[in-house]
Amino acid sequence: MKSLRYCSTSTFIIIFIHINILVTHAEGVDPVIQLPRSGLKRTRTRSKWVLSVGDYGAKGDGLHNDTEAFLEAWKIACSLSGFISVVFPYGKTFLVHPVDIGGPCRSKITLRISGTIVAPQDPVVWHGLNQRKWLYFHGVNHLTVDGGGRINGMGQEWWARSCKINSTNPCHPAPTAMTFHRCKDLKVRNLMLINSQRMHLSFTNCMRIVASHLKVLAPAFSPNTDGIHISATKGVEVRDSVIRTGDDCISIVRNSSRVWIRNISCGPGHGISIGSLGKSKKWEKVQNVIVDGVYLYNTDNGVRIKTWQGGSGFASKITFQHILMENVSNPIIVDQYYCDSRNPCKNETSAVRVENISFIDIQGTSATEEAIKFSCSDAFPCEGLYLENIFLASCFGGNTSSFCWQAHGSARGFLHPSTCLSSSDDRIRQNVGPKKSSFPPNKHSAYRTNRQKISQKQ
């Protein structure tokens, strides 16, 4: 595992922005969820019902298996019409085994998690089951998940058995804490997800998703613990959240489009990634993505697009803008030679096309000399890359540099390090060396824009 390297404050200083957009405190939960043991409670509005899992046998002591109580409450909620709340009450810990929650439902359900849901600690519980899933929701429309509570994947034993922690271990799958598959009009908000066995929150084949006011936490050494994973999903907004994990804070992969990410604090972890795309010669695409207003610190990468050789498809119409970085390795990177394999990857002629990618108002400190890297395919070069107002200084007092291979595009505004793109715009103002005593001329507006965007929800 690569150790983190920290910046010298004498070289470059970035004000640490404390983002106070964490999940709603459980103490603030409406006491209406504390229900009598009636099994079903109707509120004043005829079509609104509240069901507590405690009324269906859940102990909430963290020791007894409360899975069946959850399933029974869900079954009833799904069968009713109107607006239904299924509640995990505050102050209790509910042990839930791998569970399959299906739709469609007649009702519009709010799953209010005000207490804590924990996974079994022992991976043996998954014997004979799908080891990629813990809390699995599928085919449910108009679902809201909130409540200010916690979802704890208890992933420590899974991490210890991972081949990425110990290379002598066999490589096996591990569960994603919460998976939403083929869901529409979904809201996930005001929750804390911690220590997932693998990924924390995954959206696959979904439409019209809003994920907001989340706190996602796992140690930096935890393997493959992506914060939010978006796959084959259209119309996604992820905003106002803090993500600190051992892998990508947010990953966007195959056949996803219309994704908007804003007001995110990320780090530690692997940054924000598009891809990987094209593994095993697959055709995959990601398009129409905006990443706007992000603070990255102590991450292995900043904003990244990664594709495998031999694949096909495209990554297109992607914008990274108004981003602050502190002690970030590989702040800006496009890699069409990505290879996450125990064995060397073969050279291939085909590639996923990378085109029309913009990097605008990105500032901060790089933990590596090569602050900008565009490593593109010989057969399918990167086209339409665009840089504007970039200032990435070294953490350690030296120079930063750009690397380009088969990378074509244009740039404008202040650029440090200077661009290496071919066919660049004549209006570029190239910086010839580091200036320790001052920010770039455009920094005031860019910094203010970032700070306002990220801290609006404090």
For residue range 214-263, what is the model confidence (pLDDT) as tens digits? Answer: 999 999 999 999 999 999 999 999 999 999 999 999 999 999 999 999 99
3-class secondary structure, 165: coil
Which two three-digit tokens encode residue 147?
A: 């409540």
Q: Is the pLDDT score of 167 beyond 70?
A: yes
What's the average model confidence in pLDDT over 324-339?
97
Annotated catalytic sites, by residue? 270
> Domain for residue 140, yes or no?
yes
How large is the C-alpha radius of gyration of the chain?
A: 23
What's the average model confidence in pLDDT over 139-163?
97
Instruction: Return the pLDDT at 211.
Output: 98
- Is the domain of 260 the same as that of 320? yes
- Is the domain of 173 the same as that of 67? yes
Q: Is the pLDDT score of 15 beyond 60?
A: no
- Is the domain of 42 the same as that of 143? yes
Task: Identify whether the C-beta of residue 70 lies closer than 8 Å to the C-beta of residue 53.
Answer: yes
d(CA 223, CA 240): 25
Contacts of 70 (CB under 8 A, 6+ apart): 53, 56, 58, 86, 94, 96, 99
- Is the domain of 327 the same as that of 432? yes
Q: How many CA atoms, within 13 angstroms, populate the side-chain half-sphere of residue 405?
A: 11
Q: Is the pLDDT score of 397 beyond 80?
A: yes
Comparing CA positions, the residue from 230, 168, 228 lying closest to residue 205 is 230
Q: Which of 170, 194, 215 is the last residue in one of the domains?
A: 215
Q: Which of 163, 192, 215 is the last residue in one of the domains?
A: 215
Comparing 38-47, 157-166, 204-213, 268-277, the range with the smallest average pLDDT is 38-47
CATH number at residue 375: 2.160.20.10
- Is the domain of 171 the same as that of 259? no
- Is the domain of 402 the same as that of 313? yes
Going by pLDDT thresholds of 50, 70 and 90, the confidence category of residue 422 is confident
pTM: 0.86
Q: Higher model confidence: residue 344 or residue 236?
A: 236
Going by pLDDT thresholds of 50, 70 and 90, the confidence category of residue 120 is very high
Q: Higher model confidence: residue 41 or residue 38?
A: 41
Omega before residue 276 within 30° of 0, cis: yes
3-class secondary structure, 291: strand
d(CA 129, CA 67): 15
Q: Is the pLDDT score of 24 beyond 60?
A: no
- Is the domain of 141 the same as that of 285? no
What's the average model confidence in pLDDT over 325-336?
98
> Domain for residue 20, yes or no?
no
d(CA 185, CA 108): 10
CA torsion sign, 130 to 133 to 134 to 139? negative
d(CA 414, CA 391): 7
Q: Where in 92-233 does DSSP place strands (E)?
A: 93-95, 99-102, 107-113, 116-118, 133-138, 144-146, 150-152, 176-181, 184-194, 201-204, 207-217, 228-231
Instruction: Return the pLDDT at 276.
Output: 96
> Domain for residue 14, yes or no?
no
- Provide the percentage of residues in the chain whose pLDDT is more than 70: 82
Going by pLDDT thresholds of 50, 70 and 90, the confidence category of residue 156 is very high
Instruction: Return the pLDDT at 255.
Output: 97
Instruction: Return the pLDDT at 376.
Output: 97
Going by pLDDT thresholds of 50, 70 and 90, the confidence category of residue 128 is very high
What's the average model confidence in pLDDT over 278-306?
97
- Is the domain of 114 the same as that of 187? yes
- Is the domain of 173 the same as that of 293? no
Q: Higher model confidence: residue 423 or residue 354?
A: 354
- Is the domain of 38 the same as that of 148? yes
Q: Which of 193, 215, 237 is the last residue in one of the domains?
A: 215
Total number of domains in the chain: 2
Range of the domain at 81: 33-215
> Domain for residue 2, yes or no?
no
> Domain for residue 111, yes or no?
yes
Going by pLDDT thresholds of 50, 70 and 90, the confidence category of residue 343 is confident
- Is the domain of 209 the same as that of 295? no
Distant-in-sequence contacts of 33-39, Cβ < 8 A, 24+ apart: 33/85, 33/87, 33/89, 33/90, 33/112, 33/114, 34/89, 34/90, 35/87, 35/89
Contacts of 20 (CB under 8 A, 6+ apart): 455, 457, 458
> Domain for residue 334, yes or no?
yes
> Domain for residue 266, yes or no?
yes
- Is the domain of 208 the same as that of 253? no
Instruction: Return the pLDDT at 341.
Output: 84
Comparing CA positions, the residue from 330, 446, 247, 329 lying closest to residue 7 is 329
Instruction: Return the pLDDT at 48.
Output: 78
Instruction: Return the pLDDT at 7.
Output: 66
Comparing CA positions, the residue from 349, 277, 279 lying closest to residue 318 is 277
Instruction: Return the pLDDT at 9.
Output: 43
d(CA 63, CA 50): 25
> Domain for residue 445, yes or no?
yes
